[in-house]
Chains A and B, each alone.
Chain A
Amino acid sequence: MKVRLRDLKPFDLQAADEIIQKDHGLHPDDKYLKPGRIPHIWCAGCGLGVVLTCFIESIRRKGIPVDECAVVSGIGCTGRVAGYLDMDSYHTTHGRAIPFATGLALAKPDLNVTVFSGDGDLFAIGGNHLIHAARRNVNLKVICVNNFNFGMTGGQVAPTTPLEAKTSTTPLGNAEPGFNLPHVAHAAGAIYVARWTTFHPRQLVHSISQAFDKKGFTFIEVIAPCPTGYGRPNKLGAGLDEMRYYREMSEVRNGADPSDVEIRLRGKIVVGTFVDTVRPDFMENYAGMVVARAKAKLKGKEKGRSA
């Protein structure tokens, strides 16, 4: 077979270096960001920058070396978070961030593995993985950025879109009620469940910091404005208007029953830390039972042999 190929343009290390050095280091947070990756791809008014900053702030506050952290994302706007953070970061397939992170966390149990992804990624295509990781209590921190729609593909209905809300695939209003995410996470077995909006950066930093102290499956929902995809069809105004909306409509109720915190179109948004409990994580159970028994069995066999 004859194959005709185009000339390859070789990788220009020097040019890549120049991009990397350009404007990098001007901001105090730059040491947490991959050089040369900013500017980001997110729309004006998007809440993802706030969430990313809060994540960085809690790493700084906890004093955790970035070499001991890893971030795993799925696909979509939030999926791009992994690419900006200067640590080992994994941008996986749609919905599969949690199982990928499960493998990573079980292979290296001392690592702080954070799954940072969107509501569509984690709860639509990835819903099954999320509930099972919560049930197993895999040592993962899940930050779910909820903007009530599939942003990157152009604002389609998501499993979090409230009843009656308009999206590009529900132009006449959504006929399905959305998931109450904290309720799902809690019911599946998460040991820590919180919800904040991007209007609550301090509380969010505190919650993420708390999650760093927990060993097990922790879940934080962050309500983020999406003026392009969700705000526009639902007449919520620009990014700033959505932030004002969060200021007026959110109500802090720490310890609220997760079954009680459903979000309705133009309804109240209950925020706070809803669940904070303790139970052995997957590795603790695995090492304590399965591995311990395997060792005991082997020892017994050896003893039997020598006798």
Chain B
Amino acid sequence: MADKDILSGEHFIHGDAACAEGGIAAGCRFFAGYPITPATEIAERMARRLPEVGGVYIQMEDEIGSMAAILGASWGGVKSMTSTSGPGFSLMMENVGLGMMTETPCVVVNVQRGGPSTGLPTLVGQADVMQARWGSHGDYGCIALAPSSPQECFDLTVQAFNLSEIYRQPVFVMSDEVVGHMTEKVVIPKREELKVVARVSPSQSPRDYLPFETTGRMPAPMAVVGQGYHVHVTGLTHDERGYPDITADVQERNVRHLVDKIRKNADKIIQVDGVGLDDAQVVVVAYGCASRVGRQAVEDLIKRGHKVGLLRLVTLWPFPSNLIRSLAGRVKAFIVPEINYGQMAYEVERTAQGKAETVLMALMGGSIHTPEEIADAAGEYI
């Protein structure tokens, strides 16, 4: 059955299926979820595939339980994931915080739809990107990846697992309905070509082991259940041993570590994709399905001889502030097409620091931009 875990070869599948395959290829062997449109296909694929590879699928009673269960499974020593969409993502947020505080690796795929509330269950949205960053209470570092094709749904889910193991925290894959339901060719690489980060177990004796060490840039290796380390895992402010210690001093170390492990490694984590950025006068900043339209608009304009660029955010968080800042010094404007009323556009505007104009092309959900709209908006600056 071992050969069933990485289905190397070419497939014609949708983004949701590719997310599931990415998870399995990355070593995910536990999935807990609750049906929600448009993410349900991930759960359905997992329900069929996990028993084939020796994993467990469970449909929980709600998203709160799903998120709690994948944290539990992760401490059980198994790579775990869940998938959801807007309202479910909201329900998961308290336990996302638990995952951040307890430094528990796992992956949450959010196939975004139009919100708020029940909103547009079957139609696209991109309005959860700020929730991914700030959704749970308190401070923590965030890693969120935004696929723009089924191929990337596979690749970025694998990467999300790797990043969650390296930085020991929940990592988000912020897909959207268009990408999730889009069917394209997906190439699943051969086993030896696939980079999968295995979970590291501590090598120290239980006496010397500090499961929540804060001095290094990276979190300590994770001692899961049954390894004899008797780790106490708590959502309370805790010292390096994991013992609750509710004081301002310990909070200072604990929270700073949760934020800094991402902030200090941001350059290593950030991924962007660019078209024509070197001499662009206007840059379209987009992610997910909107970046595909953005690319079309930019390529059309370049063909017509204009100096236009595309900056596609592969990681939404950490945000490539330095790159935006340096671009801001030499471009006239950033055009930000996104399917919300201004979320990442604010981040672009904030980091551009007034050196370039930021144009938000907002859609409230349910439809995508046309290349012509984006080209028109960019055209005003060239």
Contact = CB atoms under 8 A, between A and B. Distances in A.
B335 interface: no
A104 B65 contact: no
- Among A66, A88, A102, max chain B CB count under 10 A is at A88
Given A91-B235, A96-B95, A107-B77, A102 B230 contact: no
B75 interface: yes
A96 B233 contact: no
Interface of B: 1, 4, 29-30, 32, 48, 51-52, 54, 56-58, 60-62, 64-66, 68-78, 80, 94-95, 97-98, 210, 214-215, 224-236, 239-241, 243-244, 249, 252-253, 256
B71 A100 contact: yes
A34 interface: yes
Nearest to B207: A17
Nearest to A65: B228
B234 A294 contact: no
A298 interface: yes
B69 A102 contact: yes
A88 B102 CA distance: 13
Closest 9 CB pairs of A and B: A107-B76, A103-B72, A103-B69, A99-B65, A103-B73, A294-B51, A99-B68, A91-B234, A104-B72
Contact of B228 (A67, A70, A89): A67
A228 B227 CA distance: 39
B233 A107 contact: no
Interface residues of A, number: 52
Contacts of B66: 99
Nearest to B52: A294
A268 interface: no
A111 B51 CA distance: 21
Interface string A1-18: 000011011110100100
Given A36-B243, A298-B52, A93 B235 contact: yes
B67 to A, nearest CB: 8
A142 to B, nearest CB: 14
B230 A66 contact: yes
A132 B61 contact: yes
B64 A290 contact: no
A interface, by DSSP: helix, strand, loop or mixed?
A: helix
A108 B231 CA distance: 16
Contacts of A83: 232, 234, 243-244
B68 A106 contact: no
A210 interface: no
A190 interface: no
A110 to B, nearest CB: 8
Contact of B76 (A8, A37, A89, A108): A108
B95 A106 contact: no
A104 B243 contact: no
A132 B241 contact: no
Given A88-B225, A290-B51, A99 B243 contact: no
29 contacts: A9-B249, A11-B210, A16-B239, A67-B228, A72-B72, A87-B230, A88-B224, A88-B229, A89-B230, A90-B233, A91-B232, A91-B234, A93-B68, A93-B95, A99-B60, A99-B64, A100-B68, A100-B71, A103-B30, A103-B69, A105-B76, A106-B56, A107-B30, A107-B72, A107-B74, A108-B78, A108-B226, A128-B62, A282-B58
